[in-house]
Amino acid sequence: MTSQPPPPPAGDFAQGVPSIAPVVTGGNYTPWFTRVLAYVIDSIPVYLLTAIGGVVLYIFQPTETLCVAEAFCATGRNGPSTTAWIIFSLCVLVAVAFTLWNFVVRQGNTGSSIGKQIMDFKVVGEQTQQPIGVGKSFLRQIAHGLDALICYIGFLFPLWDPKRQTIADKLLKTVCVPL
């Protein structure tokens, strides 16, 4: 009289207790800190160009002496020279062009800006898992304004969001995934 115990009922039961679905903790989405580091890397050329322009503005200020009367002469800086302003403007123009190319054109076509590529992740459409294109990438950058609107809280959303999305990501239905 050696009978086998009956097979377990259908479903995933462990000692009579139904199993609980696993908690999603970010799945295969890029962690927040990795995204922050990518942004810092992307910002380095922009800050360097702007700093170079600022240093040029500061250094190239002609010193002049103005005498009102023989007894009173004042010496001081008269502001940056025209050449300094031109150099500063060119530095800012190159920084803006780099930013548009990096965050709009490059990221739209490949899914990764330079910083994202270094940190090994990309921005893709939530449904398609493909790069989002130049137009949508441009709109995503504009939508990041909403992330900043309320004390930059939108940029913190990936810390608690299951898909680690910012407000801009939610609006444009994009996600950041590892390469």
Render pLDDT for 46-103 as a digit per residue (tens, 0 to 9).
Answer: 999 999 999 999 998 887 777 877 778 777 777 888 999 999 999 999 999 999 999 9
pLDDT tens figures, 97-107 = 999 999 999 99
CB 175 within 8 A of CB 164: yes
At 43, is the pLDDT very low, low, confident or very high (cuts 50, 70, 90)? Answer: very high
Q: Where are the domains positioned within the chain?
A: 28-178
Please name the residue that has the structure tokens 């031109």.
86
Q: Which pLDDT value is given to residue 75? A: 75
At 12, is the pLDDT very low, low, confident or very high (cuts 50, 70, 90)? Answer: low
**What sign results for the dihedral spanned by CA atoms 152, 114, 172, 127?**
negative
- For 139, other C-beta atoms within 10 Å of its C-beta total 18
Find the helix or strand (DSSP H, E) in which 178 lies.
Answer: strand 174-178
